[in-house]
């Protein structure tokens, strides 16, 4: 029997097999930020230990950081201390740190790939659930808890039970105006938030082969929203071209040698998965969510259904009550209050290019607050260099500074109670974006349309595509 891509990477990193127990895995890259690392650093210090292999660890501040006036001291004392603690701990342990304002600073899952820190065929961990993002490069990447962060600090290894594996294949061609975010929201709506619980998911098929790396990262980022431990895409020429020339990536003959190795990272034809799912790209439309988990999603032009996969009865009704929606309600044309473009899901340059292309020559809707937050200083730089900033300014928008921002209520960018936000982030849980906030997940094109119309709308670029049944 052949091996999956996951099998090959796992076995190459297995240090020890524990009889009737987990495996011990070597960890290639450990990414940290200011939220989950302080307790682990303190635990390490209490034992009189230092980080074992600091060159394998990279740090940035992102969750607690403001997205306006980053040149000033952070106003919130708890956030200021968290950011300061990260600076102290990384300095004490010789870890590469990208502080606020540094050209390499940004959201941890954005800067890892764009700096060339994350490559292919690696094990990548971070004390953050959306570490699955890095599976887009053909990696076993997953989030870990604080005690596991300490374990990696101390040993550069981690004990893990081998998960089950699933493969999701999407073939065919996407309609014009359908984004990678729509693809993953569609998949989650079909499988539910428990559809791949505990699995590592490999994404295969024509749709993913034709996706950019930014798109693949968006898809892998949201793998955990259907219960998966992580997502993975086999590396190819698109991957290698993205990595080449980046700051921490290998170069010259070493890069060529590594690419030759990375080309062996694929699933054998006779490999067997625990679960297989297939979808047709022609069925995917611009998507939104209407409830309080990412599986509660429909095409923009569809009505709120009677139930969602894995969520019906009282739980379904409670979600609709929180959102202020009802079964059968048509959401296209529904007025919204906020739009958020950003996060580790859709805060990359491709997302800003799409948003700017959609709003060019138009103007921001009155009465709608729009937060446009780059995922990193590098994205911020490219926005200005490519003239995107000028387009956004002419359309009445203001660009904020990099950070996690309104993805979660850990900084000043909170959606007020009862307000509706079209958000390109990854979670629409109750209170995720602020107490009582009502989150509607969408891709950058749907967000752009909401920003200029003030309503949930089908992107103009989708016009001419097959109508929604």
Q: Do 299 and 257 share a structural domain?
A: no
pLDDT value at residue 292: 97
Query: What is d(CA 352, CA 397) in angstroms, rounded to the nearest whole number?
Result: 12
Q: Do 295 and 239 share a structural domain?
A: no
DSSP 322-343: HHT--TT-B-TT-B-SEEEE-H
Tokens of 232: 């993975």
Q: Do 306 and 258 share a structural domain?
A: no
pLDDT value at residue 463: 62
- Assess if residue 129 is contained within a domain: yes
- Assess if residue 184 is contained within a domain: no
What angle do the packed helices 377-385 and 349-359 form, to 10 degrees? 40
Q: Do 298 and 255 share a structural domain?
A: no
Q: Do 250 and 334 share a structural domain?
A: no
Does position 468 have pLDDT exceeding 70, yes or no?
A: no
pLDDT value at residue 313: 87
What's the total number of domains in the chain? 2
Query: What is d(CA 211, CA 217) in angstroms, rounded to the nearest whole number?
Result: 10
Q: Do 373 and 260 share a structural domain?
A: no
Contacts of range 12-20, beta carbons closer than 8 Å, 24 or more positions apart: 12/121, 13/123, 13/140, 15/157, 18/159
Find the domain containing 49 and state its range.
5-162+231-267
- Assess if residue 411 is contained within a domain: yes
Summarised one tens digit per residue, pLDDT across range 279-310 is 999 999 999 999 999 999 999 999 999 999 98
Q: How far is CA 52 from CA 27, 57, 61, 373, in A?
A: 12, 10, 22, 35
How do 14-17 and 23-26 pair as beta strands? antiparallel
Query: What average pLDDT does the chain have?
Result: 96
Residue 467 binned pLDDT confidence (cut-offs 50, 70, 90): very low
Q: Do 237 and 121 share a structural domain?
A: yes
- Assess if residue 435 is contained within a domain: yes
pLDDT value at residue 221: 98
Q: Do 259 and 344 share a structural domain?
A: no
Q: 0.85 exceeded by the pTM? A: yes
- Assess if residue 360 is contained within a domain: yes
Q: Do 431 and 310 share a structural domain?
A: yes
How many Å separate Cα 219 from the centre of its chain?
A: 7
The stretch 54-72 carries a mean pLDDT of 97
The H or E element containing residue 287 is strand 287-289
Does position 235 have pLDDT exceeding 80, yes or no?
A: yes
The H or E element containing residue 451 is helix 444-453
Q: Do 422 and 302 share a structural domain?
A: yes
- Assess if residue 220 is contained within a domain: no
- Assess if residue 206 is contained within a domain: no
Closest CA to 204 of 233, 245, 235, 243: 233
Does position 1 have pLDDT exceeding 90, yes or no?
A: no
DSSP 32-97: E-TTTHHHHHHHHHHTT---S-GGGEEEE--SS--SS-TTSPPSSHHHHHHHHHHHHHHHHHT-EE
Q: Do 317 and 437 share a structural domain?
A: yes
Q: Do 427 and 319 share a structural domain?
A: yes
Does position 261 have pLDDT exceeding 90, yes or no?
A: yes
Query: What is d(CA 184, CA 284) in angstroms, rounded to the nearest whole number?
Result: 10
């Amino acid at each position: 029997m052949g091996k999956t891509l996951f099998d090959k990477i796992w076995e190459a990193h297995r240090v020890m097999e524990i009889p009737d127990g987990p495996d011990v895995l070597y960890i290639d890259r450990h990414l940290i930020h200011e939220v989950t690392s302080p307790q682990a650093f303190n635990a390490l210090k209490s034992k009189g230990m230092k980080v074992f292999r600091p060159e394998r660890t990279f740090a940035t501040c992102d969750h607690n950081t403001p997205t306006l006036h980053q040149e000033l001291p952070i106003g919130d004392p708890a956030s200021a201390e968290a950011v300061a603690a990260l600076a102290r701990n990384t300095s004490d342990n010789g870890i590469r740190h990208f502080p606020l304002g540094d050209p390499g600073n940004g959201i941890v899952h954005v800067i890892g790939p764009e700096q060339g820190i994350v490559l292919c065929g690696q094990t990548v961990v971070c004390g953050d659930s959306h570490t699955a993002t890095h599976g887009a490069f053909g990696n076993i990447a997953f989030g870990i808890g604080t005690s596991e962060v300490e374990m990696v600090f101390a040993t550069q290894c981690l004990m893990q039970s081998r998960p089950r594996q699933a493969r999701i294949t999407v073939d065919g061609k996407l309609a014009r105006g359908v984004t990678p975010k729509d693809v993953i929201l569609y998949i989650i709506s079909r499988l539910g938030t428990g559809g791949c619980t505990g699995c590592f998911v490999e994404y295969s098929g024509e749709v993913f082969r034709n996706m950019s790396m930014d798109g693949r990262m968006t898809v892998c980022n949201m793998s955990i929203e259907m219960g998966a431990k992580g997502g993975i895409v086999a590396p190819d020429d698109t991957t290698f071209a993205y990595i080449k020339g980046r700051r921490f990536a290998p170069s010259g003959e070493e890069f060529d040698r590594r690419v030759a190795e990375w080309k062996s990272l694929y699933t054998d034809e006779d490999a067997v998965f625990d679960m297989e799912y297939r979808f047709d790209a022609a069925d995917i439309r611009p998507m939104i969510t209407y409830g309080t988990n990412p599986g509660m999603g429909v095409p923009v032009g569809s009505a709120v259904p009677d139930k969602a996969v894995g969520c019906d009865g009282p739980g379904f009704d409670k979600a609709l009550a929180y959102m202020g929606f009802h079964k059968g309600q048509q959401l296209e044309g529904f007025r919204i209050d906020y739009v958020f473009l950003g996060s580790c899901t859709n805060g990359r340059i491709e997302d800003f290019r799409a948003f700017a292309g959609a709003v060019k020559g138009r103007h921001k809707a009155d009465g709608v607050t729009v937060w446009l937050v780059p995922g990193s200083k590098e994205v911020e730089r490219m926005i200005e260099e490519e003239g995107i900033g000028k387009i956004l300014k002419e359309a009445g928008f203001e660009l904020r500074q990099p950070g996690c921002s309104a993805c979660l209520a850990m900084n000043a960018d909170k959606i007020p109670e009862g307000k509706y936000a079209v958000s390109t982030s990854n979670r629409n849980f109750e209170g995720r974006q602020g107490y009582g906030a009502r989150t509607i997940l969408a891709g950058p094109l749907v967000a752009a349309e909401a920003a200029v119309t003030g309503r949930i709308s089908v992107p103009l670029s989708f016009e001419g595509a097959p109508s929604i049944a």
